[in-house]
Amino acid sequence: MYTLSQVHIDMARNSTDDFSLFHDQFRWSWVNNNPFKGPIALCFQLGCFVETHIPQNSPHLTVDMLRFSSFEFKFARSVKVGDKIEAEIKKGRLTHNENGKQYSTRVCLKANDKPAIIGFKRDGEFPTLTPEFPELTLSELKEAKDRSFIADGEYFLKRKWMIVGNAKNFLLSAFADQTSYIDEFANKVTFPQMYPLSLLSSALLERAQAASHDLIKNPLVYTSQHLSMDKVQLKELRSNDAMHILIKQPQILESGIQRFICFAYVNQQTPLFIAQVDLLPAMQMIIR
């Protein structure tokens, strides 16, 4: 069991450029009717905690043999400074269908013995998200202006860079051993899956600003995330690689949730990751 501190939150937000006021120990009260009454942990920080506690081997196979990885999370409660967190990982299950093999593991992150994140980690021979891809080439993305709406306004583009030092701090924010992923003495650089995924939060925040959304009067919070990663591309990432994140115009659901479909491209024409994230105005949340 681990105790979350403000230092852990600061390491996560500084290493990912997440400037949400929900994580700021001095400015969280700026948020209009902030339901959390204090700084809270980052969702992707907690996701990294879960990721680094999942065994990489099963009785059936090594999950690295399966190209695609996905996280399907629902957020049940916030995690605050002083909370004691632990990951509960159930025994995985291997299945086969027309698309190939998939190994699924039920996961739960608990804060003070109460579920905060529940969901699944899946590794398979096929991606779990298959939306229609943007009709944009990688060269077009490289030439497009950062922090701009492109393709007739259908997508917002945010350009981020993979930085080894930031990834180390991100791992530390999730209580992980950074040498398991990045070790200069072993000439090893392997980014955790949650690190490139975590850069999505800052991209969403910048999109909100570009769309004149008031992040103080009407902030949004995650209710669920479905994240699909290409692990072959992930292994090829190196420091200073540019990542081009595309955020599609949101779908507004009946519940008031805003659903965003997002893509990230680095060195290939196919996405490094695909994400479907649901966000809800904070004032509509029921805080437990």
- Residue 4 carries which side chain, given as an amino acid letter? L
Q: Using DSSP bridges, classify how beta strands 100-111 and 114-124 pair: parallel, antiparallel or unpaired.
A: antiparallel
Q: What pLDDT, in 10s, does the model give residues 200-254?
A: 999 999 999 999 999 999 999 999 999 999 999 999 999 999 999 999 999 999 8
φ and ψ at residue 283, rounded to 5 degrees: -70, -15
Q: 57-88 burial, b if ≥16 CB within 10 A, otherwise e?
A: eeeeeebeebbbbbbbbebbbbbbbebebebe
| Interatomic CA distance for residues 175 and 286, integer angstroms | 29
**pLDDT value at position 159?**
98
* 80 confidence band (pLDDT: 50, 70, 90): very high
DSSP tally for the chain: helices H, then strands E? 6, 15
Give the residue-averaged pLDDT of 38-51. 98
Q: Residues 146-184, buried b or exposed e (16+ Cβ, 10 A)?
A: eeebbeeeebbbbbbebbbebbbbbbbbbbbebeebbee
Name the fold adopted by 2-284.
Thiol Ester Dehydrase; Chain A (3.10.129)
The model's pTM = 0.95
Quick one: pLDDT at residue 65? 80
Give the pLDDT confidence score for residue 255 in this predicted structure.
85
The predicted-structure confidence for 19-28, as pLDDT tens digits, reads as follows: 999 999 999 9
- Give the 3-state secondary structure of residue 78: coil
Whole-angstrom Cα distance, residue 179 to residue 173?
A: 14
Neighbours of 23 (CB within 10 A): 23
Query: Where are the domains positioned within the chain?
Result: 2-284
